[in-house]
Structure 1
Amino acid sequence: MHGEYKVPGGKLVVVDLEVEDGVLRDVRVAGDFFLEPDEAILAIDGALEGAPASTDAAGLAARVTAALPDSAVMLGLTAEGVGIAVRRALAHATEWSDYDWQLIHESPQSPALHMALDEVITTEVAAGRRPPTLRVWEWDSPAVIIGSFQSLRNEVDPGGVERHGVTVVRRVSGGGAMFVEPGNTITYSLSVPEALVSGLSFADSYAYLDDWVLGALGDMGIKAWYQPLNDIATEAGKIAGAAQKRMVGPDGGPGAVLHHVTMSYDIDADKMLDVLRIGKEKLSDKGTRSAKKRVDPLRRQTGLAREQVIDNMIASFRNRYGLTGGEVTAEEMARAETLVRTKFATDEWVARVP
């Protein structure tokens, strides 16, 4: 069995192993990390040899940590990363390069239609009728997107929404509210087979699916990192928030994961504070300043036009994993438009948590 895991902010860990009588055998750990002293790699292999195949990633990491000499130095490698790579091997996880990725980047669409397209496309990936897909959104109007479990009245100021002509929609994933305007936001979705994140915890899957965009930002001179549970941050502040939804496959079989990210290219902080209820903190000047500073736009950090940032991100993904152009099919669009009418544009869905 073979498993790979890229340590967030670190290096690739590769594990090859066999399972005999329910325990790990012939374990070999490799990768492009740095490790001192040389014999520490043998200690890692030995720590995993004979471990029950049912041991979780934390238990495997504990075995590795206990076996390493006090003098061991790991750069780009963690005991937790080794444990995750083992679990991915045992789960027969796939890798990014195992797939033919498709790009969808079409004309501006309504907020409710974007919500519906996420559901339809990810369902198609789960059913095996569509390849793994990167979809870059374009917005036709300003919107507030609230998480699946958020209270509408707690998150949205109805007066501000009316003043600024903002549409309120609810997405299928959890997480917090996002304020977006055309031209000021970069939003994308990854719809991926569940096998790509096999062996990863829910939290680890966020870091794993965010890794490519951290590299893309780095190519543009931005040192960014994954900040648990679902943020992408820089020294200047948060620049993006992610959310996920797992969807089961046909007949309850292996499904797909929707991982979507909203990045702040530019932001009208005053308008954001007028349409979102920030909470009691908003009542003080200090709180208002804090809320405005919390999200730091990509426009200021890159100095690039929004379209150029998007082009750079797409090019980075293509260089890493390959990416061919695609489109929403007529059947997918028809299903999405039906979902808009029956779900995403209805008061029952938007206010399902009043």
Structure 2
Amino acid sequence: MTEEISHYHSALKVPGGKLVVADVTATSSHLQSVQISGDFFLEPEEAFEALGPALEAASVQEDTTSLIKRLDAALSTVSAETKVNVELHGLSTRDIAQVVRRALNNATDFSDHSWEIIHSPVLPTPMNVALDELILNQVAAGQRGPTLRLWEWNDRAAVIGSYQSYVNELDPDGVRENNVTVVRRISGGGAMFMEGGNCITYSLYAPDSLVAGLSYEDSYEYLDRWVLAALAKHGVHAWYMPINDITSSAGKIGGAAQKRRGKAVLHHVTMSYDIDAEMMTKVLRIAKVKIADKGIRSASKRVDPLRSQTGATRSDIISTLIDTFKERYSARSVELSESDLQEAQHLVDTKFGTEEWTHRLP
């Protein structure tokens, strides 16, 4: 019995590099032929001719690491046979393996979707956290298209990860004395200290096809490439530090977290604009360890990577983020509906504002 043949296609723009395209023919079990193309540079010519054959007969289940090993082995053979070192410019074997995996998983790109941008009105932090669950569920159910939402708030809050212990992360006296609202979010990761105006937080709600074929670690970097481009407009050279940190030559800028549900993924990021480090250490137990690790002897210093590196106001940076996203993906601005706000408030009343949820890990 002849196995059914399927054809796959995917393209990937390498950050700071070139376009890599994969056209793959495969059965239900193995790759039959692979054609790699793009505007990259590669020497010698024999190296290019070895790329596709290196992946033929690979299992369709092989992960990125396994495909990289196949490619590296083939290029080493070319180098040995030609006595010429193989040079790839504008791509790496990791990029090739990644685009092949995305092809096999029918992955989509940002530009394949119609995006909406919500710049939220000023809301209490529990409402912002509730909106993450609400909009993620809407996207998963097909009730809303892919969305970028930028938060606004004016309260003082500590947002803890879904799997963090309340007492291990927070100082009860600091929480009470500084009038801090504690909210547990639905994603994992660490605690965030958030005063109005001291952070920039955004959430992406997207179909899971956007990260199809990417490892969990790679998906973080992929979903925030547009952010690094926006920061570059303010003169900030930023990059991803696995698994979920955005950093720069001046230190860490922010951290990301994800939650996947059904056919959708929530990816949200908080970046430090100008945090009161002394206040943070009174509220978050772990903050004292992190600040000491960064070599900041005095807790009275501020954590202000975006303000000090850009000289721009918080609102200016947010405007750049919105403009960059719109320029890249033709997104349109929309507003939260009254129904959205009512449903989010219901989630606050029944979940995110309750002692049961907030203290689910004592």
Q: TM-score, normalised by structure 2?
A: 0.90
Q: 1:129 corresponds to which residue?
A: 143
In the alignment, does 2:52 pair up with 1:38? no
Q: 2:270 corresponds to which residue?
A: 262
Q: CA shift at 1:284, angstroms?
A: 7.3
For residues 319 and 350 of structure 1, the distance between their equivalents in structure 2, rounded to whole angstroms, comes to 39
Q: 1:85 corresponds to which residue?
A: 99
Q: Evaluate the alpha carbon distance shift between residue 47 and residue 156 of structure 1 in structure 2; reply closer, same or farther with a 3 A threshold.
A: same
**CA offsets 1:237-284 (integer angstroms, 9 cap, x no match):** 000100000011xxxxxx100000001111111111111102784897
For residues 291 and 30 of structure 2, the distance between their equivalents in structure 1, rounded to whole angstroms, comes to 58
For residues 286 and 222 of structure 1, the distance between their equivalents in structure 2, rounded to whole angstroms, comes to 19
Number of paired residues? 348
For residues 14 and 170 of structure 2, the distance between their equivalents in structure 1, rounded to whole angstroms, comes to 37
Q: CA shift at 1:56, angstroms?
A: 1.8
Q: CA shift at 1:294, angstroms?
A: 10
In the alignment, does 2:51 pair up with 1:49? no
AA in 2 matched with 1:30 = S
Q: 1:251 corresponds to which residue?
A: none
Q: 2:335 corresponds to which residue?
A: 327
Q: 1:113 corresponds to which residue?
A: 127
In the alignment, does 2:353 pair up with 1:345? yes
Alignment check: 8 A CA contact 2:277 2:302 kept = no
Q: Find runs of 4+ consecutive structure 1 residues off by over 6 angstroms.
A: 282-287, 290-294
Alignment check: 8 A CA contact 1:189 1:261 kept = yes
Q: CA shift at 1:286, angstroms?
A: 8.6
Alignment partner of 1:307 out of 299, 307, 315: 315
Q: CA shift at 1:304, angstroms?
A: 0.6
**CA offsets 1:270-325 (integer angstroms, 9 cap, x no match):** 11111110278489799663988895520110011111100011111111111101
AA in 2 matched with 1:240 = G
For residues 241 and 235 of structure 2, the distance between their equivalents in structure 1, rounded to whole angstroms, comes to 19
Alignment check: 8 A CA contact 1:278 1:291 kept = no
For residues 103 and 265 of structure 2, the distance between their equivalents in structure 1, rounded to whole angstroms, comes to 19
Q: CA shift at 1:332, angstroms?
A: 2.4
In the alignment, does 2:164 pair up with 1:150? yes
In the alignment, does 2:284 pair up with 1:276? yes
Q: Evaluate the alpha carbon distance shift between residue 283 and residue 134 of structure 1 in structure 2; reply closer, same or farther with a 3 A threshold.
A: closer
Alignment partner of 1:16 out of 13, 23, 39: 23
Q: Evaluate the alpha carbon distance shift between residue 37 and residue 291 of structure 1 in structure 2; reply closer, same or farther with a 3 A threshold.
A: farther
For residues 304 and 41 of structure 1, the distance between their equivalents in structure 2, rounded to whole angstroms, comes to 45
The within-5 A match list for 1:156-195 is 156-195=170-209
Instruction: Report the secondary structure of 2:106's partner residue.
Output: coil
Q: CA shift at 1:52, angstroms?
A: 2.4
Q: Evaluate the alpha carbon distance shift between residue 10 and residue 163 of structure 1 in structure 2; reply closer, same or farther with a 3 A threshold.
A: farther
Alignment check: 8 A CA contact 1:221 1:302 kept = yes
For residues 292 and 99 of structure 2, the distance between their equivalents in structure 1, rounded to whole angstroms, comes to 47
Alignment check: 8 A CA contact 2:274 2:303 kept = no
Alignment check: 8 A CA contact 1:237 1:293 kept = no
Q: Evaluate the alpha carbon distance shift between residue 27 and residue 292 of structure 1 in structure 2; reply closer, same or farther with a 3 A threshold.
A: farther
For residues 224 and 16 of structure 2, the distance between their equivalents in structure 1, rounded to whole angstroms, comes to 11
AA in 2 matched with 1:14 = V
Alignment check: 8 A CA contact 1:184 1:265 kept = yes
- Larger deviation: 66-75 or 340-349? 66-75
Percent identity of paired positions between Structure 1 and Structure 2:
54
Where do 5+ consecutive residues of structure 1 fail to align? 249-254
Alignment check: 8 A CA contact 2:199 2:273 kept = yes
RMSD between aligned alpha carbons? Answer: 2.2
For residues 62 and 290 of structure 2, the distance between their equivalents in structure 1, rounded to whole angstroms, comes to 46
Q: Which has the higher Rg, Structure 1 or Structure 2?
A: 2
Where do 5+ consecutive residues of structure 2 fail to align? 1-7, 80-84
Q: CA shift at 1:4, angstroms?
A: 2.5
Q: 1:4 corresponds to which residue?
A: 11
